[in-house]
């Protein structure tokens, strides 16, 4: 099978993406030797984002504030998980269901500087990153076949980053995964019973209780969730109800950039630049205007490793209480 494919797990009803083209990466399936010395200069020389000729296609480019050079770029992923030349028509193989690997997979290059990161960028630079997220999100969600767009960032090897140069990714899918559907359905059930958005209720309680609040500005609240799955997990949630990241205003883009940069800088300083993932959880297509869905940014540092129990049960074991984590991030404990 050379082309990508998406198969439905008949037991869990979760889709599984098969992307054989990603095997072309030389580091795939190789156990890395932690004793191997690193050579930052060589890494920069080989970096595809630092070498202009290696960027064959630029989908979007935003200049820096001085208009002297580019600040962010969006390029196709050279080893995509999904590709736009496919379609979403399902097929069967005996009792199983599959479809071609339709979608889009793009990389958002956040800065021309190889060793700079969001935690060490200026607020103005992070604003351009958020503007790039927003522009590309709106462009990609125009197509009818695109059911959802996931914007995410992998920082560090334990978070799945294969390139050091600061970048985020956006993947568009032609299906909505069961994982996302389940959350939407639970939010719908809550709304049907109480007539309110469950995320708005969480937000209101955290604003009043303040036990787990980490930072706040006019548009956003950042807090360690009551049931955080990993140590120092942080959610950044808009105070105004919004189902869709695409609905964010100009002021909210600026405020989001400020609080995101501040939270990541805090983790950088207090946890010695930990590996982490963050994802913008936003409404799937056709849910963008519904009252029970609320977008937010979820940051999960990779400080622990899930083991057999987590795999068997789906239950996370967090060795640190959210309230203690919030105190530490606020400088209230050591």
Q: Are 168 and 287 in contact (CB under 8 A)?
A: no
The values of phi and psi at residue 101, to 5°, are -80, 60
Q: What is the dihedral of CA 230, 327, 225, 159, to 10 degrees?
A: -30
Please tell me whether 105 is known to bind a ligand.
Answer: no
**What does the buried/exposed string (b/e) look like for 22-60 if buried means 16 or more CB atoms within 10 Å of the residue's CB?**
beeeeeeeeeeeeeeeeeeeeebeeebbbeeeebeeeee
Q: Which of 105, 134, 155, 167 is catalytic?
A: 167
Please, how many CA atoms are within 13 Å of residue 173, restricted to the half-sphere of its CB? 17
**Farthest CA pair distance, the chain:** 60
What is the 3-state composition of the chain as percent helix, strand, coil, each rounded to the nearest 5?
30, 25, 45
Burial class (CB in 10 A: 0-12, 13-18, 19+), 98: middle
Please tell me whether 197 is known to bind a ligand.
Answer: no
Per DSSP, the residues of 97-126 read EEEE-BEEEEEEE--S-TT--GGGS-HHHH
Active site residue 167: yes
SS3 per residue for 129-189: HHHHHHHHHHHHCCCCCCCEEEEEEEECHHHCCCCCCCEEEEEEECCCCHHHHHHHHHHHH
DSSP SS3 for 8: strand
Catalytically annotated residues:
167
Annotated binding site: 47, 50, 114, 165
Annotated binding site for Zn(2+): 47, 50, 114, 165
């Amino acid at each position: 099978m050379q082309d990508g494919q998406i198969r439905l797990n008949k037991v869990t009803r979760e889709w599984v993406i098969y992307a054989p083209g990603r095997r072309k990466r030389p580091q795939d399936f190789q156990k890395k030797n932690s004793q191997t010395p690193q050579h930052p200069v060589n890494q920069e020389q080989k970096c595809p984002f630092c070498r202009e000729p290696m960027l064959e296609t630029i989908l979007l480019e935003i200049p820096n504030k001085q208009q002297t050079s580019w600040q962010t770029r969006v390029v196709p992923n050279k080893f995509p998980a999904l590709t736009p030349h496919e379609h979403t028509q399902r097929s069967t193989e005996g009792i199983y269901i599959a479809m071609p690997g339709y979608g889009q997979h793009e990389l958002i290059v956040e800065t021309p500087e190889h060793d700079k990161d969001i935690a060490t960028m200026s607020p103005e630079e992070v604003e351009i990153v958020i503007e790039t997220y927003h522009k590309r999100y709106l462009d990609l969600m125009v197509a009818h076949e695109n059911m959802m767009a996931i914007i995410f960032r992998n920082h560090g090897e334990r978070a799945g980053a294969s390139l050091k140069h600061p970048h985020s990714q956006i993947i568009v899918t032609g299906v909505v995964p069961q994982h996302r559907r389940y959350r939407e359905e639970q939010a719908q059930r809550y709304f049907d019973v109480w007539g309110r958005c469950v995320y708005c209720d969480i937000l209101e309680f955290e604003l009043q209780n303040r036990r787990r609040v980490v930072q706040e500005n006019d548009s956003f609240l950042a807090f360690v969730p009551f049931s955080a799955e990993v140590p120092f997990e942080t959610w950044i949630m808009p105070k105004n109800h919004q189902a869709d990241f695409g609905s964010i205003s100009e002021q909210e883009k600026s405020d989001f950039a400020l609080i995101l940069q501040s939270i990541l800088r805090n983790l950088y300083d207090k946890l010695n630049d930990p590996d982490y993932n963050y994802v913008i959880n936003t409404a799937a297509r056709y849910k963008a205007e519904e009252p029970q869905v609320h977008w937010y940014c979820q940051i999960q540092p990779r400080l622990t490793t899930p083991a057999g129990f987590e795999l068997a049960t789906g239950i996370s074991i967090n060795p640190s209480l959210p309230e203690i984590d919030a105190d530490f991030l606020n400088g209230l404990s050591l």
